[in-house]
């Protein structure tokens, strides 16, 4: 089976968020199952080629769009047997100081999508697998323009909150027929909704956890598209993400000063001591370490965590926060760093090495998300024997079981968060055997991509059967 996998970011080449982790790991897992996978991403300036050299695949790729033809060139990098990376290059769109957050992002990713579609016409895959709004228009191009052997389309929603809504002039730029601009297809209250195109035109839709697949059909989580998603319920499935166990493994993690396994889990305390001292927090045995890694935005629950911190700092605990986000939270957390010296470490940056150390050295990992399609942090934490404390939404609800593999709260309040942390601390201080048993249980949880990749294979086969009328 030939899979054409399109994503705006791919780990380890360019990573901004969790989408990159999926786009890096799932194709690799699929290739191990016998698929031939072509991964396609923009040729950003920031790409780390991992010591490899790409070759030119296509010197000029014609990209027809509504305001005339544009061009791209395409590089190819062979990653392993059955797995190739293709880079869509256009200096004006992608040779910039960062991958995202420009006023013309909608235009940039419409261009990328149309160029990817034209590349697919050359490669002739069985399945085109698109991810998030950046590539959601591709199934529309297939629906209206594909004139070769039938090809199946799958659209994966990683975060419904970001939909690529833009003015009608971007619809005209996309080159879709004018008849498509109607409420049943891509029009959204007079605007062009690129995410909606993926939902409307794809053969199947999936999202990244079974619970989130149900949540997005409700007004609370549906971000204005719940009616459409409910309408397409028969084509919507939830498949839980996995983690790349080649990258996240405490037994061979290159960033950990001391490696450990299930059998040598006591060494985790040594990692904790190293981490605390590295960050200027004086270690003393018996004080648990709580951590948070993520974007400092309300989606991740940073608002209720900030409210909870003063009460937490009254307890005999340490806390580490790593991430970037809104200026408001940057300033608030910097004030807390000054208010609680020696107790809390605030790291307002993205630092992959430090993230690995935090996963390895923490006792508890906090994910108080307002909503969470899947979440990878809680699964990575478990792999390192770090017990998650999460809100029971989306993939967090699917992966963390109260009192068995972590601690779960439901009300979106800082008091509910504090109550769940208190249950965790009570276990740590008053039931050491119970704490170590839970730590071992979470390390034994299987969150590899193996089972998830098999579910994607089943979904691809279902799509092909639909295309063939089986």
Helix (H) and strand (E) counts in the chain: 17, 18
361 has a pLDDT exceeding 70: yes
pLDDT value at residue 18: 85
CATH class of residue range 2-242+450-468: alpha beta
- What are the tokens at 126? 């069985």
Q: Of 12-21, 40-49, 123-132, 286-295, which range is least confident?
A: 12-21
pLDDT value at residue 470: 62
DSSP assignment string, 345-380? EEE-S--HHHHHHHHHH-SEEEE--S--SS-SHHHH
Neighbours of 180 (CB within 10 A): 19
How, if at all, do strands 387-391 and 364-367 pair?
A: parallel
Contact 377, 223 (CB under 8 A): no
pLDDT value at residue 121: 97
Order of strands, edge to edge, in the sheet holding 407-409?
344-347, 318-322, 289-293, 364-367, 387-391, 407-409
pLDDT-derived band at 16, boundaries 50, 70, 90? confident
pLDDT-derived band at 451, boundaries 50, 70, 90? confident
Average pLDDT over residues 74-102: 96
Length of the chain: 470
pLDDT value at residue 50: 87
Q: pLDDT tens, 120-159?
A: 999 999 999 999 999 999 999 999 999 888 899 999 999 9
Domain boundaries along the sequence of the chain = 2-242+450-468, 265-446
467 has a pLDDT exceeding 90: no
Q: 392 — phi, psi (to 5°)? A: -80, 70
Total-model pTM: 0.90
Average pLDDT over residues 71-76: 97
Q: pLDDT tens, 253-287?
A: 999 999 999 999 999 999 999 999 999 998 988 99
pLDDT-derived band at 416, boundaries 50, 70, 90? very high
- What are the tokens at 287? 């004080």
pLDDT-derived band at 227, boundaries 50, 70, 90? very high
pLDDT value at residue 366: 98
Q: Measured in whole angstroms, how far is the alpha carbon of residue 470 from the centre of its chain? A: 33
Q: Measured in whole angstroms, how far is the alpha carbon of residue 11 from the centre of its chain? A: 11
Average pLDDT over residues 372-385: 95
Average pLDDT over residues 442-450: 93
Q: pLDDT tens, 188-204?
A: 999 999 999 999 999 99
2-242+450-468 and 265-446 in the same fold: yes
469 has a pLDDT exceeding 80: no
pLDDT value at residue 148: 82
| CATH topology (fold) of 265-446 | Rossmann fold (3.40.50)
d(CA 345, CA 347): 6
């Amino acid at each position: 089976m030939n899979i054409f996998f399109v994503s705006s970011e791919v780990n380890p080449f360019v990573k901004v968020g969790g989408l990159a982790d999926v786009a890096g790991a799932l194709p690799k897992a699929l290739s191990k199952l016998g698929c031939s996978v072509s991964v396609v991403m923009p040729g950003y300036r920031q790409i780390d080629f991992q010591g490899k050299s790409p070759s030119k695949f296509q010197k000029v790729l014609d990209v027809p769009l509504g305001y005339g033809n544009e061009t791209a060139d395409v590089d190819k990098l062979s990653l392993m047997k059955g797995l190739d990376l293709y880079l869509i290059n256009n200096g004006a769109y992608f040779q910039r100081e960062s991958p995202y957050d420009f006023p013309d992002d909608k235009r940039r990713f419409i261009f990328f999508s149309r160029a990817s579609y034209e590349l697919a016409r050359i490669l002739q895959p069985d399945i085109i697998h698109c991810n998030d709004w950046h590539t959601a228009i591709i199934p529309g191009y297939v629906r209206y323009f594909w004139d070769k052997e039938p090809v199946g389309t799958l659209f994966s929603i990683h975060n419904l909150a970001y939909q690529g809504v833009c003015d009608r002039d971007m619809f005209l730029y996309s080159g879709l027929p004018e008849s498509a601009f109607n409420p049943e297809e891509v029009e959204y209250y007079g605007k062009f909704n690129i995410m909606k195109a993926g939902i409307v035109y794809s053969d199947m839709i999936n999202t990244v956890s079974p619970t989130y697949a149900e949540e997005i059909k409700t007004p609370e989580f549906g971000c204005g598209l719940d009616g459409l998603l409910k309408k397409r319920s028969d084509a919507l499935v939830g498949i839980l993400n996995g983690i790349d166990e080649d990258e996240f493994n405490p037994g061979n993690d290159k960033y950990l000063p001391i490696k450990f396994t299930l059998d040598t889990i006591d060494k985790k305390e040594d990692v904790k001591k190293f981490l605390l001292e590295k960050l200027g927090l004086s270690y003393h045995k018996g004080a648990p370490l709580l951590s948070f890694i993520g974007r400092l935005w309300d989606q991740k629950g940073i608002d209720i965590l900030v409210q909870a911190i003063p009460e937490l700092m009254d307890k005999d605990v340490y806390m580490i926060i790593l991430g970037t986000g809104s200026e408001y939270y940057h300033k608030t957390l910097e004030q807390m760093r000054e208010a609680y010296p020696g107790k809390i470490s605030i790291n307002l940056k993205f630092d992959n090495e430090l993230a690995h150390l935090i996963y390895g050295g923490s006792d508890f990992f906090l994910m108080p998300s307002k909503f969470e399609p899947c979440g990878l942090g809680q699964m990575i934490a478990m792999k390192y024997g770090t017990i998650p404390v999460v809100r029971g939404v989306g993939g967090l609800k699917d992966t963390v079981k109260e009192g068995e593999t972590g601690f779960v709260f439901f009300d979106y309040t800082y008091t509910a968060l504090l109550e769940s942390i208190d249950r965790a601390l009570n276990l740590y201080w008053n039931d050491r055997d119970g704490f170590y048993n839970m730590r071992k249980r979470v390390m034994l949880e299987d969150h590899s991509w193996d089972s998830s990749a098999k579910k994607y294979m089943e979904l691809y086969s279902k799509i092909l059967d639909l295309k063939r009328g089986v």
